[in-house]
Amino acid sequence: MSGKITVFGCCILLAINPLPAVNGATFAIYVGPGAWIDGVIAFENFLDWKGISHERVTPSDVNTYVLKNYYRAIFMPGGDAYYYKLYIDANGVQHIRDLVFSGGGYIGTCAGAYYASDSIRWEGGTYDYPLDLFQGFSNGAIDAIAPWPDYTMTPVNLNPAHPVNQYSPATMTSLYYGGQTFVPHAGVAVDTLFTWAAYHDSVGGISLTYGSGRVLLMGIHPEIDENTSRDGTSFADSLDDKESDWNWLWTAIDWLLKRPLSTPQIWINEFHYDNAGNDVNEFVEVVVPAYFTDLSRITLTLYDGSTGTVYDTHTIDTFTPGIRQGDLQVYYKPIPGLRDGPDGLSLDYQGNLIQFLSYEGSFTATAGVASGDTSSDIGIAESGTEAPGMSLQLLGNGNAYPDFQWGGPYGQTAGNVNSDGNTDQSLPVALRFFTAQVVQNGIVLKWETASEINTLGFILEKSRKDSSHFQFLASYATHPALRGAGNHSRTRKYQFLDHQVEKGHTYWYRLQEVSLSGQRIPLATTRITVVTFSPGQSSATAGRYRLYPCYPNPFNPVTTIAFEVGSTAHSSQRVLLEVFNTRGRRVALLLDDSLHPGRYSVSFNAGGLPSGIYYYRLQAGNWTRTRKMILLK
């Protein structure tokens, strides 16, 4: 490369201050020159969430120490692969190879995947790399998804035949930041993890074996959890991710470490086994992703802790569906005869152990799917002195087992969200839309939820300056119309009229949900300008329809679309607002509702779409208009 420094994917170049010594852990995390700090921190936080030990290693560590004597796997983050090549010498290359060959694991995201490849094709050049775990080409960046150095959320199609994907839906949205396609050399066998939905379904993630070890290479960044702060970094938090990749990454790391494959989104959520007098109302409750339909292959196994043997089994298709919490479904089943502890419960899918819990002590299973494994004591128990009607429950906020904590005994909530009587287990509300409409006496704000989980109510905020200077407008505490449904799986509509507006002014509004535990969750923001109209008239002229240019335009990733619905012989009419790509494929349905005449404003978040030209179309009765918008990331 003639001394030229070439960035191979993934993020900004940054050297990270190393830790002073090698002590050993499950994962070594590379932090040499070129390593992307956000990717490092996010992966560390993910491993903490999963309960896996880790330690940072420098180029000097990799070059000096026999890694297989200290670690079970190594993570090479995004960043600049050229610097990895520059600072890891021949000894370091051999140390990484030996770690994997002897039964360890290697996971590389973006630049870490480029570095593991035999050759890299980048911006017209081809470059040889020394590690050679993958015998093939890494080709990047993919301008059709996001020209380097831009980044975006992009969908990937998961290969249903790969064991890593068995708990996941067919498509996952993840962060793209200079990633690649993988093309193996002739005769080289690799397994496809996923393909780029936005780029000819070309291969964007692979797995392979190297000696006795396993390798995961991918052009996405599943370690970045975009919509939350739990990954320890604010990078890409403004992007609209449709789900957390951490649930998928959980299973992927199990596969890499040769552990039983599991998912944090299938778990035991509540159970009761002992009370004063004769035991009554004994049951077990589990949580499963709502899209997951293969319930007959998920098995609950009950263990006798004194012998480690199985005394009963139940498949989840024999359970009764309870409440649905967002994308998670609760199932429960009365099971008379649950034994007093120390005993245990396990969940498995097709023989893959997902969870092995116990109460009143830990033990090692000697039979069944958990044979040879030691149970995890939940740390609480039923003493046998409590009145009937109590249970042990998970409480907290989240969408995966590690997000919650065991508590109790509390009042039983079989089939419903768990509660200690003060706070409830909760997940955020599913918002369909949030709009603003100019009417005769103010601005009416409308929103609709597809479902609500432990929703206490909503708070509205308002700004006359921009989208970052909001002030309190109204709250569920003083306005009954803003009170939430608690737990509700059907569509609910809300509206609020703001009288304090002036003609000719622009206003920004923000909607926040408040959970029963008091947590505030921002849901949406919209912007609208009050047009001048005569007293007593509608804000829309009779028979007139308008679709205004979106603002801002170009945008990244949120813009506001304003339009007017004219008056007709009917009091309301069906209005469609849709977004299409340049191929004519609809990529978003922003509104499908019956609207009265007036001026409206809808917020559109394109965080899950690649940069490019899009078209938004308004259809009201027989009237249709289309305008162009440009997404620049």
Dist. CA 153–CA 173, nearest whole Å:
6
| Residue 496 one-letter amino acid | F
Residue 524: closest CA among 621, 605, 404: 605
Q: Kindly write down the DSSP assignment for every residue of 362-406, as one continuous string.
A: --B--SSTTTTPBPEE-S----S-SPSSEEEEEESB-SSGGG-EE
Taken as a whole, the chain contains a residue count of 633
Query: Could you tell me how far CA 570 lies from the centroid of its own chain?
Result: 43
Residue 4's pLDDT is what?
Answer: 36
Please give the helix or strand (H or E) that residue 87 lies within, else none: helix 81-87
Residue 18's pLDDT is what?
Answer: 43
pLDDT > 70 in the chain, percent: 89
Residue 331 near residue 321, CB atoms below 8 Å: yes
pLDDT of 14 > 50? The answer is no
Residue 568's pLDDT is what?
Answer: 60
Residue 186's pLDDT is what?
Answer: 94
Task: Tell me whether residue 123 is exposed, middle or buried, using C-beta atoms within 10 angstroms of its C-beta: 0 to 12, 13 to 18, 19 or more.
Answer: exposed
Summarize the confidence of residues 459-473 as an average pLDDT: 84
- Reading the block at residue 328, the tokens are 């998670």
Higher pLDDT, 233 or 315: 315
- Candidate from 49-63, 106-120, 418-432, 526-540 with smallest mean pLDDT: 526-540
| Residue 597 one-letter amino acid | P
Residue 115: closest CA among 180, 44, 196, 68: 180
Dist. CA 74–CA 99, nearest whole Å:
8
Sign of CA dihedral 314, 319, 323, 324: positive
Higher pLDDT, 466 or 37: 37
Summarize the confidence of residues 53-70 as an average pLDDT: 96
Mean pLDDT of the chain: 86
Q: How confident is the model at residue 204 (pLDDT cuts 50, 70, 90)?
A: very high
**Phi and psi based region of residue 558 (left: phi greater than 0; alpha: psi -120 to 50; beta: remaining):** beta
Query: Could you tell me how far CA 504 lies from the centroid of its own chain?
Result: 40
Residue 439's pLDDT is what?
Answer: 79
Q: How confident is the model at residue 11 (pLDDT cuts 50, 70, 90)?
A: low
Higher pLDDT, 538 or 373: 373
Residue 12's pLDDT is what?
Answer: 45
pLDDT of 582 > 60? The answer is yes
Summarize the confidence of residues 598-626 as an average pLDDT: 82
pLDDT of 532 > 90? The answer is no
Peptide bond connecting 552 to the previous residue in cis, omega within 30 degrees of 0: yes
Q: How confident is the model at residue 393 (pLDDT cuts 50, 70, 90)?
A: very high
Q: How confident is the model at residue 478 (pLDDT cuts 50, 70, 90)?
A: confident
Using alpha carbons only, give the angle 108, 605, 203 rounded to the nearest 5 degrees: 30
pLDDT of 401 > 80? The answer is yes
Dist. CA 470–CA 576, nearest whole Å:
29
Q: How confident is the model at residue 230 (pLDDT cuts 50, 70, 90)?
A: confident
Give residue-wise pLDDT tens across range 555-581. Answer: 877 788 888 887 664 556 788 898 988
Dist. CA 313–CA 301, nearest whole Å:
4
Q: How confident is the model at residue 519 (pLDDT cuts 50, 70, 90)?
A: low
Residue 535's pLDDT is what?
Answer: 37
Only one residue has tokens 């009091």, namely 571
Dist. CA 291–CA 170, nearest whole Å:
10
pLDDT of 158 > 90? The answer is yes
Higher pLDDT, 447 or 391: 391
Residue 188's pLDDT is what?
Answer: 94
